Amino acid sequence: MNCYLCDRDMPLQVSWRSIFFNELESVICHRCRSSFEPIAGGCPICSASGDGLCQNCCQWETTEYAGLIDSGKCLYRYNPPMKDFLHQYKFLKDAVLSEVFAAMLKEVLDGQKSIVVPIPMNENKLKERTFSQVDRLLDTASVPYLHLLGKNEVGLGGKSKSERMALEDVFWWNGKPAPEKVLLFDDLYTTGSTMRLAAKVLKENGVKEIKVLALIRA
């Protein structure tokens, strides 16, 4: 097979684990995989570099959104190779690239006690993109999840942090029973606005504990 990203030839490697434990095989070559930068440590909510709560998360804790997120983790930095990956996956609609991080997401989320809740897309954006990129990442990794939120057509891109904080009714509760613990999952964490706007709706509807996980930290 060929690498999904650079098209180099990759020898097929079949192992006993892949046969008996349904272990997901790598679909990209070692060079492409090593170009991504995993995040170790950092802010206990968003994984920004440094010790303790980062400046951005500290600022959030002075607002009405304080205390909504109990903990969080972002898995990779938004370096140039990751930017290229995300562009090809989301905007060029290359759905097969959901397989690139499937094994890693399965490992991270395996045995998760919280209910995984993906950040939704609004209906118009879903029609434009043709598939939900966040859902597809979880589906390919065979991670069960539950949709609890809908999203209205409110663009967050280009807005300042204060403008995002002032937004109302970005997300809405879909009426399903509220689990006690939720893990919010998204593909990209930037300012933290999306996660906190979603978390606010979840907390208002009875969720007690919210953790967040994003594939990429911008």
Question: Could you report how far apart the first and last alpha carbons of the chain are, in Å?
Answer: 31
Give per-residue pLDDT as tens, 128-169.
Answer: 999 999 999 999 999 999 999 999 986 655 555 566 555 668
β-pair partners for 184: 117, 212
Asked if pLDDT for residue 114 goes beyond 80, the answer is: yes
In this predicted structure, what is the pLDDT of residue 210?
98
37-81: pLDDT as tens digits = 999 999 999 999 999 999 999 999 999 999 999 999 999 999 999
Residue 174 in this model has a pLDDT that exceeds 80? yes
Beta bridge partners of 20: none
Task: Give the span between the Cα atoms of 45 and 61, in whole angstroms.
Answer: 11
Going by DSSP bridges, is the β-strand pair 115-118/181-189 parallel, antiparallel, or unpaired?
A: parallel
In three-state form (DSSP H/G/I as H, E/B as E, the rest C), the secondary structure along 72-131 is EEEEEECCHHHHHHHHHHHHCCCHHHHHCCHHHHHHHHCCCCCEEEECCCCHHHHHHHCC
Q: How many of the other CB atoms lie within 10 Å of CB of 203? A: 18
pLDDT-based confidence at 21, cuts 50/70/90? very low
Q: What is the pLDDT of residue 19?
A: 40
Percent of the chain with pLDDT over 90: 82
pTM confidence score: 0.90
Walk me through the domains of the chain, giving residue ranges and CATH numbers: 1-34 (no CATH), 37-217 (3.40.50)
pLDDT of residue 158: 58
